Amino acid sequence: MADVFQSTFSPTLADSCFEQLEREGFCCLPDAISPQTLDAFRQEIKRLVKLNGRKFLFLMNPHKDQDSVFQSLASSKNFTKFLLHLSNLGTKTDNSGFELLNVLRVVPGDKSAGQALNFHFDAEVVTALVPIDIPEGPPEKAGHLVAIPNLRKIRKFVLHNMLEKLLLQNRIAGKLISWIVLRNKNEKYIYKLKPGNVYFFWGYRTLHANLPVDPKETRSTLLFHFGNPHKNSSIVKFIKNRHYRLDVAQKT
C-alpha cells in the first residue's frame, strides 16, 4: 500500500528540516497530506461532531484504533522516520523505543474561549501539527498557531522544567504572554496553517497556543508528539522504577 505521507523521507531532507528547526523553530513539509487523505480525515471529524454535538473534542491516541482513518498516518514509514530522525537530533539520544503520542483536537468556534491562547510547552521534544480544518479569514478568527519558537533549551533537570511550566502555564501568565505577543496587531509570532501541509516544531522548547476561532466555524488539528527530552533524568527513572516495583508487587 502507498505511504499516505507524501514527503518521502531521506536523511538529507530530514537534516535540512532539523537545521531549519534550529534556525527558525519551524519546518513545513508542503502538501505532505494528499487531498484524499485530508478528505477522509474531514469526513471522520464530521461524523464525530455529529455523534458528540458541537463541543470541544480532545481524542487521545485515535491512531491506536486499527479502523481509525488516523491510523494510516501513524503507521506511515515516511512520517515516523521524520519523527525519529528529528527527535534523535533534538535530544541527542536514541528515541527508537518511544511510544508515539497522538491527539485529535476539534474546536468549535463558539466553544473556543477556553481553548484559545492556552500557552504551553509540550512534554515531548518534537511536535508535528497536521491542520485538518482551518477557517478562512483574519488570523485572530481562524485559529492559526501563535508561538515563540525555541524560547528555551532542553532542561537538564526535570524540576527545572516543571517549575518553568508552573510559572508560565497559568491564567495570569497566559494573559500577559498573549498581550506581549499580540500587541499592535503584531503578526511576527503567528504561524498561518494550511491544511495539507505538515508543520514540525520543537514542542518542548516552543511556547505555543492557538488563536481564537470564529463562532460559526470549526477548527480541527491532529498532533503527534515524539521523543523524550528527560531520558536520563533520575526523577523520571525513579517514578518509572516505582511504577515497575508497584506493578510487580501487585502481580505477585
Ligand X SMILES: O=C(O)CCC(=O)C(=O)O
- Choose the contact partner of 221 out of Fe ion, ligand X, none; CB within 5 to 8 A by kind: ligand X
C-alpha cell at 31: 502538501
CB of 105 to ligand X, least distance (A): 5
Q: Among residues 122 and 217, whose Cβ is nearest to Fe ion? A: 122
**Residues 118-177 interacting with Fe ion (rule: CB under 5 A):** 122
Shortest reach from residue 239's CB to ligand X, in Å: 22
Binding partner of residue 4 among Fe ion, ligand X, none, CB cut-off 5 to 8 Å per kind: none
To ligand X, the closest distance from the beta carbon of 208 in angstroms equals 5
Residue nearest to Fe ion (CB): 122
Residue with C-alpha cell 533549551? 153
> In the complex with Fe ion, which residue's Cβ is closer, 45 or 145?
145
Q: Closer to Fe ion by CB, 82 or 202: give it.
A: 202
Q: How far is the CB of 127 from ligand X (least distance, A)?
A: 6
Rounded Cα distance between 197 and 30, Å, is: 4
Among ligand X, Fe ion, none, residue 59 binds (CB under 5-8 Å by kind) = none
User: Cα separation of 91 and 87, whole Å?
Assistant: 6
Least gap, CB of 184 to Fe ion (angstroms): 25
Q: How far is the CB of 10 from ligand X (least distance, A)?
A: 27
- For Fe ion, the closer of residues 122 and 133 by Cβ is 122
Residue placing its CB nearer to Fe ion in the complex, 74 or 209:
209
Q: What angle do CA 48, 62, 43 make, to 5 degrees?
A: 35
Contact of residue 230 among Fe ion, ligand X, none (CB under 5-8 Å per partner type): none
- In order, the DSSP letters of the chain are ---SB-S---HHHHHHHHHHHHHHSEEEETT-B-HHHHHHHHHHHHHHHHHH-SS-EEEE-GGGSTT-TTHHHHT-HHHHHHHHHHHHHHHTS--TTPPPEEEEEEEEGGG-TTTTT--B--SSSEEEEEEEE--SS-HHHHT-EEEETT-SPPPSSHHHHHHHHHHHSSHHHHHHHHHHHHGGG--TTEE---BTBEEEE-TTT-EEEE--B-TT-EEEEEEEEE--TTTT-HHHHHHHHHHHHHHHHHH-
Binding site for ligand X (CB under 6 A): 103, 105, 122, 129, 145, 208, 210, 221, 223
> Residue with the closest Cβ to ligand X?
221
Q: Nearer Cβ to ligand X, position 161 or 210?
A: 210
Name the residues that contact Fe ion, by CB under 5 A: 122
